[in-house]
Structure 1
């Protein structure tokens, strides 16, 4: 008798719970479908927006009176970035370990009527970076923009010089970047205003012969930049921007007139000044990613999604094939 009553009670309970379970499953499925539709709609909107911006880019922002720290301002693209920022009205803090080259950059800026200061520092040690940050903050206060131009090798050095020790490569290209971010980015977050710019070589997109440590370090810089972007997004900080710039060094023609490219009509060559102009345009439009030259950014995106065998074939085809004439 008791077993019969228990079975009846259990049957009633199961019949009662079954529609509730069905309702919960239906509700969960509905929420999932809504989330999927929302993601698809926003993805389509993002693609349309990106396509629209190809034909009508966002307006450039002013950098007048921004305090800009340029690491690696003693030569090449770093020097040209510093000079052009000063011409746009920014207060430029030039940092380089080569005292003479760095002072020459500052003298050029001041000769053109710009505002600049010279700081000589080897950023491959944490203590030096901390001292530099303390001095800069004392002299200028808030640093609103940081350009990291170190670790971009020249075409000649890629081909003729032996690779640096792996520790030296990582310290120059990646580790020092962490130290600089730790010193300056917290202030940017507090004020919800700032811009971090990372310049990386194409070595981070495709392996360069006998330069494995450099390729690994440059690839890691890309991961660091993307992590910074995600950190800002998660913490809902929309006033601080990160821009990752891929530089194809073989197209920089300064002091490399004896270099011969496999496909010169495709790659072409530009000066450091032209490269700096392209970089600053992308930064002032708050692009998260750009390249020099610009059209090769899409090649990098293509190589990420194609099968491995296809990417190898394309890399072999477009291999710069640099040689000395």
Structure 2
């Protein structure tokens, strides 16, 4: 059988055969491997010197933000909340806006309001967790508007909004909307970006991608998935030679003041009520700035950096649990 044509199905249909045992590596060969690794590190160090110099120069003399006026921006979950605020910021910047949401009434209302900024605005009803609907959406958008330049994967479900987060169908629905929908939209709209050698993909993750909350394990899992997917997508674009043309941004907001029922429930919880909260408009402004400056990761509030959040993951677990004890001891939020 031609190895290049073996598929996963072919392999899984065959009886399991264990690989050959690993051979022991002689001491001399191990020393050589270590020396080669050290040599590679030294070479990498010298190759990075120009990059560090450019980084320092950019810190004091940052490049001008890119212009996105006239580009087509598609926002999933754009009818309300964070998505609506992002759509407004993009319209102010001169982008033509495409609102995608299951809430058709508010999607149409938002699109109509955005036309006041002298841009084209469209609304489409679509369940972005449904691959076939996303595929059909891409055809409609490219016919009506043209290629998408900026894709904002914002649609998501909070644990608080589910009648029973641990119901199997609810778990599946959350995974589909929060994580898998990003697979479908990128698959459909990325080819248009690579053809025109211009594009930007944004995913709204969560600070919980760095700060796992036990009572929200299903939601947190989906946001870790978004973080991992965007990291791998950015690397894949680089390996495919597209990273100079198609950029990615992953957004990690803390608590955003959106749906009233959710905020009321959060404010009733002793631990969560103390967490800083940010408006959708502040979040949208951070997203717009990140797009224009090609920031790969951004936190809301943007005075914090993702690399700073990553330290939390490496704090000894006993210390970490003392830090978030107030939140961890509280029971899950149930909306009235």
* 46 and 121 in structure 1: CA distance in 2 versus 1, 3 angstrom threshold: same
Structure 2 counterpart of 1:158: 160
- Please give the secondary structure, in 1, of the residue aligned with 2:160: helix
- State the distance in 2 between where 1:28 and 1:211 align: 44
TM-score by length of 1: 0.78
2:306 corresponds to = 297
Q: C-alpha displacement at 1:136, in angstroms?
A: 0.6
| Partners of 1:63 and 1:89 within 8 A in 2 | yes
Residue 276 (structure 2) aligned to one of 255, 268, 271 = 268
| 1:89 matches 2:97 | no
Aligned residues: 297
1:252-295 deviation per Cα after TM superposition (whole angstroms, max 9, x unaligned): 36743682686899853332112101111112110110111121
SS at match of 1:114: coil
Give the alignment's TM-score, normalised by structure 2: 0.76
Name the counterpart of 2:251. Answer: 245
Greater fraction of residues in helix: 1
Tell me by how many angstroms 1:96 deviates: 0.4
Give 2:64's match in structure 1, choosing from 59, 84, 89.
59
Deviates more, 1:69-78 or 1:57-66: 57-66
Spell out the pairing of 1:73-112 with structure 2 (5 A cutoff).
Answer: 73-112=78-117
Alignment check: 8 A CA contact 2:270 2:326 kept: no
Q: Give distance in 2, aligned partners of 1:79 and 1:196.
A: 17
In structure 2, distance between residues paired with 1:80 and 1:97: 17
> Considering only aligned residues, what root-mean-square deviation do their CA atoms show, in Å?
3.5
1:153-211 Cα offsets, whole Å, 9 max, x none, are 3xxx6388542711101110111211111111122122221000000123322233432
- Given the alignment, which residue of 156, 178, 182 partners 1:177? 182
CA distance in 1, matches of 2:268, 2:56: 35
Greater C-alpha radius of gyration: 1
**1:102 partner SS:** helix
Contact 2:200 2:248 in 1 (8 A): yes
Distance 2:320 2:48 in 1: 26
Q: Distance in 1 between matches of 2:319 and 2:62?
A: 31
Q: Secondary structure at the match of 1:74?
A: coil
| Distance (Å, rounded) in 1 between the aligned partners of 2:118 and 2:313 | 45
Describe the SS at the equivalent of 2:251: strand
Superposed CA offset, 1:195-253 (max 9, x none) = 000001233222334322211111011111011111011122111101110111x2436
